[in-house]
């Protein structure tokens, strides 16, 4: 899908640019008309923006035409294409899944290329590791809040280099000094002579100019676009039904597949009697896969009716009796036995712990989580002689291409991936299982197939955010400051499964300890953070989920710091301020959030405020959640306040959107979500038993955006990492009950309920914790309670 | 299979479908109107919301045979109604949308609300919109956009 940028609203930076141009150009009759045209383009109203549909989908063939080798025009690099007709098309390396990256990355290129957002069309990058590898991830992917951080320099440099080449081409043609020319709104101007040329007129000449090795980038004070709340370019099509997601693709002759995966994770298909299905009008055929059955129909409904009519028998396999309590017990055993792979170790942790004025320890547990994006898993596959075409949304186009090729038994270059808008990613579309399964089905069909998973399949056959078990302890000095800090993370490793080269040689999964090994407070004087990898049973697959490692670790660290503050009778904000005395950016966001939240002002009974501060993905965030707890244990969100310093900001609208949405995503999980297994099957099935926050449960959110001159930080996941501990700290303030396990168990919050501490797991004894902290498992027996 | 005639977006459309087939799949898979989304199939999320004679209904659980002669309006045409146009405009002005997948349903629920309650209170908004799930967390902006649309 190609998106054409809608004209910006009146009142954005575009008006300033145009006003300047009119002042400059009024003297030159030749260019006057153009100036007025530009003004007119900018003066289009929101009504027109809606009715003109703004971003318009065009055929996928056009994407290939622009991004492919056959493009005719100026193509200075992987990202910029300018046609002789002056159509500027930007190939965006990251995928649009709601975070607004089409707009953000477009702004980076357009800023230096000197084109307006209303002048460009946008296409998603095709699979190509060489051209579109994400600099921070080191593969072609979108995730980990890396997009803007990775693209910040390369995309601006691409725009600047192309602009230099276009200016040079024009100057050569006019026989003038390039320094006397400048570019704006997709044209080069020589003011002294009143000459101008559109970029389209310069494509041939610019193509002959050598690409400059070094280009100067604008000083931030010169930015026209970056830093402005430019309207999103993908949204007009999303309010009038014309936006196309993977699930919406229709190709000629296409049929529809609905799938039943073996309900027991890791189980296989034993057999299927589809005689009743075949009698249903519109049912075409049944496809048998090693672990699933698909029925193909003339439409989803026929296929679904056919599938429901099938009598399927399964081989449940080794997980037939698997349940969540057994998984927790196994993980606890592994976590205790160790040994841990050391992420950070310094000082004498055990000695400092023993000698500390006060010792605090806790165990935290977090559940499997399902991604559950609003768009269920879907892909359209057309297998042709020797290759295939695939239409689907994916966060990893090259990986999708390679894995699809493997299923199809063809070379990757024979697989064409048409990437689509994604109806919510959150990490789900870093996985390619749905594309691979659609390929396996389509391979057996003589027509293109659209495979659509039901919501039940989506929830029961996800690759889940790992369960985590964290044991953490600290020794505090007379001032209440930690002098010893020990944190053992246990959980399945997503990195080991998904990107094995990312594992440290000693067995640490950097994702699993991210922001535990380097808390926002810095490394404590005597500190040990280690990781024990737990291996889930085959068939239970773990995956990255919004906020990745930090979502789990910020909950542990910021809950525990709150415990420390209360253990020494200090105010949670004041306690953090003291620990952050050498971290001014963190202190600044903390102060702003606390002030805006009315920290310290009186609240009704069983109502409290919880605070967190974090440095995640290169951004500093503080958040305060205000919540009330009823006598029955029901939790009501009253107010959310967050202050963010993400450095230089590309588009403040996107920052606010991501903070708001991210924090609600995290609160939703903390309040309701946990995937559990019984008899090898996922117990949750749809939104009725895997609850989502709704509008009537959503409080006002105040985002205080503190822009600083630091390099841009990531933003897409920062709200999510902040959410759970801010809420559970608020619940502690309201009730005195410390929540150490997610999702929040309301039974613990009933007035007068007995405190249960860290769920069913007793904390380690003091000596055992100290021994573990030394990595000396043999000593663990000594003094064990 | 029966031949069903539907009044969709002001046009009479014919479809050869089973009478118990939910309207959602007739719109999407037979008539090609993919703006209406599938989210849950059990009327829990509201992504499939369309108007039937102006009332918001979850098309994923509405058998097509139950529509009869009623006028069906989908997100593709709701902009032709005054409330729909106001809603879409406010949605863009307040930058409501992120991934956008649920927004067809959100716009339809909001437009139906504004058509019958031109100046909704917060409580009205809660009642009308609580059936629409958004995974991106656009709720605060949805609330503000409905208020903006009401004032326009």
pLDDT tens digits along A124-157: 999 999 999 999 999 999 999 999 999 999 999 9
Report the gap between the CA of A298 and the closest CA in chain B (Å): 8
Q: Is the pLDDT of residue A2 over 70?
A: no
* pLDDT for res A61: 57
Full residue range of the structural domain in which residue B100 is found: 78-151
Three-state SS for B96?
coil
Q: Are residues B82 and B104 located together in one domain of the fold?
A: yes
Q: Which residue of B has its CA nearest to A393?
A: B99
Q: Do domains A246-317+377-452 and A325-369+465-749 have the same CATH topology?
A: yes
* pLDDT at res. A466: 98
Q: How confident is the model at residue A1 (pLDDT cuts 50, 70, 90)?
A: low
If you classify domain A325-369+465-749 with CATH, what class do you get?
Answer: alpha beta
- Between the CA of residue A287 and those of A291, A441, B12, what are the distances in Å? 11, 6, 36
Nearest chain A residue (CA) to B124: A696
B143–A contact, CB cutoff 8 A: yes
Q: Which of A239, A375, A660 sits opposite B101 (nearest CB)?
A: A375
- Give the count of domains, chain B: 2
User: In this structure, what CATH number is given to the domain that contains residue B35?
Assistant: 3.10.20.30
The pairing of beta strand A283-289 with beta strand A292-297: antiparallel
Domain stop point among B73, B89, B108: B73
Give CA–CA dist A432/A422, Å, rounded: 13
Interatomic CA distance for residues A741 and A732, integer angstroms: 13
Which among B41, B74, B97 has the least Cβ separation from residue A239?
B97
Distance, in Å, from the CA atom of A95 to the CA atom of A519, rounded to the nearest integer, reads 30
Same domain? For B69 and B91 the reply is no
Contact A695 B25 (CB under 8 A): no
pLDDT value for A6 = 47
Percent of chain B at pLDDT above 70?
100
Between chain A and chain B, the number of residue pairs with CB atoms below 8 A apart is 196
The predicted structure's pLDDT at residue A756? 59
Are B52 and B24 part of one and the same domain? yes
Site from A6, A240, A309 to mutate, B interface, most B CB atoms within 10 angstroms: A240
> In this predicted structure, what is the pLDDT of residue A3?
58
pLDDT in tens, A525-560: 999 999 999 999 999 999 999 999 999 999 999 999
Residue B27 at interface with chain A, using a CB cutoff of 8 Å: no
Q: Which residues contact A308 (CB under 8 A, 6 or more apart)?
A: none
Q: Supply the pLDDT for residue A64.
A: 66
Q: Which residues of A touch B1 (CB under 8 A)?
A: 281-282
Q: Identify whether residues B68 and B83 lie together within a single domain.
A: no
Kindly report the number of other CB atoms within 10 A of residue B3's CB atom.
8
Residue B2 pLDDT? 86
Taken in order A676, A678, A679, A683, the sign of the CA dihedral is negative
Query: Residue A678: is its pLDDT beyond 50?
Result: yes
Q: Does residue B39 share a domain with residue B7?
A: yes
Instruction: State mean pLDDT over A564-590.
Output: 98
Q: Do B76 and A421 touch (CB under 8 A)?
A: no
How does pLDDT run across B93-144, given as a tens digit for each residue?
A: 999 999 999 999 999 999 999 999 999 999 999 999 999 999 999 999 999 9
**Per-residue model confidence as pLDDT tens digits over A308-336:** 999 999 999 999 999 999 999 999 999 99
Instruction: State the smallest CA–CA distance between residue A456 and chain B in angstroms.
Output: 8
Q: Which of A537, A597, A572 has its CA nearest to residue A330?
A: A537
Assess whether B67 and B7 both reside in one domain. yes
Is the CB of residue B148 less than 8 Å away from at least one CB of chain A? no
**Helices and strands, counts by H and E, chain A:** 23, 27
Nearest alpha carbon to residue B18 among A114, A279, A230: A279
Q: Supply the pLDDT for residue A777.
A: 34
**CATH class of the domain at A3-226:** alpha beta
What pLDDT does residue A60 have? 55
Residues B147 and B82 in one domain: yes
Q: Are residues B62 and B98 in the same domain?
A: no
Mean pLDDT of A5-14: 35
Q: Are residues B101 and B59 in the same domain?
A: no
Q: Does A455 touch chain B (CB under 8 A)?
A: yes
Q: What is the pLDDT of residues A93-129, one digit of tens each?
A: 999 999 999 999 999 999 999 999 999 999 999 999 9
pLDDT for the residue A325: 97
pLDDT level of residue A188 (50, 70, 90 thresholds)? very high
* CATH tag, A246-317+377-452: 3.30.365.10
What's the gap in Å between the CA of A338 and the closest CA on chain B? 38
Q: Which residue has the higher pLDDT, A554 or A770?
A: A554
The pLDDT of B4-13, averaged and rounded, is: 97
My answer on whether B136 and B98 are in the same domain is yes
What pLDDT does A762 receive? Answer: 41
* pLDDT at position A761 over 90: no
Domain ranges of chain A: 3-226, 246-317+377-452, 325-369+465-749
Q: Best mutation site among B26, B81, B92 for testing chain A: the one with the most A CBs within 10 Å?
A: B92
Partner B, chain A 667-706, Cβ-Cβ below 8 Å: 668, 686-688, 692-696, 698, 700-701
In this structure, the answer to whether residues B52 and B117 fall within a common structural domain is: no
Sheet holding A387-392, edge to edge: A283-289, A292-297, A255-261, A449-452, A378-384, A387-392, A415-419
Q: End of a domain among B73, B104, B121?
A: B73
Residue B89 sits at the chain A interface (C-beta within 8 Å): yes
> B83 with B46, same domain?
no
């Amino acid at each position: 899908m190609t998106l054409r940028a809608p004209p910006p609203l009146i009142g954005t930076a575009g008006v300033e640019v145009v006003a300047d141009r009119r002042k400059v150009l009024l003297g030159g009759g030749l260019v006057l008309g153009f100036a007025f045209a530009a003004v007119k383009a900018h003066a289009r109203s929101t009504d027109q923006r809606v009715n003109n549909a703004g971003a318009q989908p065009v055929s996928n063939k056009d994407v290939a035409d622009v991004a492919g080798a056959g493009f005719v025009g100026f193509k200075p690099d992987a990202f910029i294409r300018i046609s002789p007709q002056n159509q500027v098309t930007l190939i965006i390396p990251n995928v649009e899944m709601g975070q607004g990256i089409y707009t953000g990355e477009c702004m980076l290129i357009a800023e230096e290329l000197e084109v307006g957002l209303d002048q460009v069309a946008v296409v998603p990058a095709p699979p190509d590791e060489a051209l579109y590898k994400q600099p921070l991830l080191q593969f072609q992917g979108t995730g980990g809040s890396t997009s803007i951080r990775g693209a910040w320099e390369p995309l601006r440099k691409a725009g600047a280099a192309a602009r230099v080449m276009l200016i040079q081409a024009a100057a050569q043609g006019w026989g003038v000094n390039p320094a006397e020319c400048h570019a704006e709104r997709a044209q080069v101007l020589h003011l002294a002579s009143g000459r101008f040329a559109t970029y389209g007129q310069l494509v041939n000449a610019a193509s002959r100019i050598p690409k400059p090795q070094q280009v100067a980038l604008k000083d931030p004070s010169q930015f026209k676009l970056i830093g402005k709340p430019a309207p999103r370019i993908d949204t007009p099509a999303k309010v009038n039904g014309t936006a196309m997601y993977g699930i919406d693709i229709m190709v000629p002759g296409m049929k529809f597949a609905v799938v039943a995966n073996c309900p027991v994770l890791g189980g296989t298909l034993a057999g299927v009697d589809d005689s009743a299905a075949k009698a249903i009008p519109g049912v075409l055929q049944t496809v048998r896969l090693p672990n699933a059955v698909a029925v193909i129909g003339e439409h989803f409904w026929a296929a679904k009716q056919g599938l429901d009519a099938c009598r399927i028998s399964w081989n449940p396999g080794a997980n037939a009796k698997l349940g969540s309590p057994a998984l927790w017990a196994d993980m606890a055993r592994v976590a205790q036995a160790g040994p841990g792979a050391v992420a950070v170790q310094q000082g004498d942790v055990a000695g400092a712990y023993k000698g500390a004025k006060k010792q605090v320890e806790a165990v935290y547990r977090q559940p499997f989580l399902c991604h559950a994006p609003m768009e269920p898993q879907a892909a359209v596959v057309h297998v042709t002689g020797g290759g295939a075409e695939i239409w689907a949304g994916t966060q990893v186009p090259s990986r999708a291409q390679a894995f699809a090729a493997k299923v199809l038994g063809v070379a990757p270059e024979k697989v064409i991936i048409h990437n689509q808008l994604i109806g919510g990613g959150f990490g789900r579309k870093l996985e390619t299982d749905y594309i691979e399964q659609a390929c396996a089905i389509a391979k057996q069909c003589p027509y293109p197939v659209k495979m659509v998973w039901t919501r039940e399949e989506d929830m029961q056959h996800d690759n889940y955010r790992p369960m985590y078990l964290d044991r953490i302890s600290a020794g505090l000095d007379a001032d209440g400051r930690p002098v010893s800090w020990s944190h053992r993370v246990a959980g399945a490793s997503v990195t080991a499964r998904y990107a094995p080269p990312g594992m440290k040689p000693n067995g640490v999964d950097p994702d699993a300890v991210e922001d535990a090994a380097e808390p926002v407070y810095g490394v404590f004087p005597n500190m040990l953070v280690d990781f024990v990898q737990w291996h889930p049973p085959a068939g239970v697959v773990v995956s990255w989920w919004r906020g990745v490692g930090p979502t789990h670790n910020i909950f542990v660290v910021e809950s525990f710091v709150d415990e420390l503050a209360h253990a020494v009778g200090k105010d949670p904000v004041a306690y953090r301020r003291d620990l952050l005395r050498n971290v001014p950016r963190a202190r600044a966001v903390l102060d702003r959030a606390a002030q805006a939240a009315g920290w310290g002002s009186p609240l009704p009974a069983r109502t409290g405020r919880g605070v967190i501060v974090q440095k995640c993905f290169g951004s500093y965030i503080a958040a305060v959640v205000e919540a009330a707890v009823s006598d029955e244990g029901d939790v009501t969100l009253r107010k959310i306040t967050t202050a963010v310093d993400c450095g230089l900001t590309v588009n403040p609208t996107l920052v606010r959107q991501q903070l708001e949405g991210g924090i609600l995503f995290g609160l939703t999980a903390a309040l309701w979500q946990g995937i559990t297994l019984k008899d090898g099957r996922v117990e949750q099935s749809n939104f009725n038993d895997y609850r989502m926050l709704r509008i009537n449960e959503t409080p006002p959110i105040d985002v205080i955006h503190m822009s600083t001159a630091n390099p841009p930080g990531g933003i897409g996941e920062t709200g999510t990492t902040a959410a759970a501990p801010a809420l559970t700290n608020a619940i502690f303030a309201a009730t005195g009950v410390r929540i150490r396990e997610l999702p929040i168990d309301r039974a613990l919050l009933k007035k007068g309920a007995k405190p249960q501490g860290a769920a069913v797991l007793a904390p380690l004894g003091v000596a055992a914790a100290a021994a573990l902290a030394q990595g000396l498992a043999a000593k663990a027996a000594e003094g064990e309670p | 299979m029966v031949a069903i005639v539907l009044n969709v977006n002001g046009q009479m459309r014919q479809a050869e479908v089973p009478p118990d087939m939910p309207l959602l799949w007739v719109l999407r898979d037979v008539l090609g109107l993919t703006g209406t989304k599938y989210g849950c199939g059990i009327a829990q999320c509201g992504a499939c919301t369309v108007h039937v004679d102006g009332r918001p209904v979850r098309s994923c659980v509405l058998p097509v045979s139950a529509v009869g002669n009623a006028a069906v309006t989908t997100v593709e045409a709701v902009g032709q109604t005054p409330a729909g146009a106001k809603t879409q405009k406010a949605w863009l002005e307040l930058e409501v949308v992120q991934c956008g997948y649920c927004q067809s349903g959100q716009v339809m629920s909001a437009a139906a609300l504004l058509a019958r309650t031109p100046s909704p209170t917060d409580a009205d908004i809660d009642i009308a919109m609580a059936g629409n799930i958004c995974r991106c967390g656009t709720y605060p902006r949805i609330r503000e956009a409905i208020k903006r649309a009401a004032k326009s």
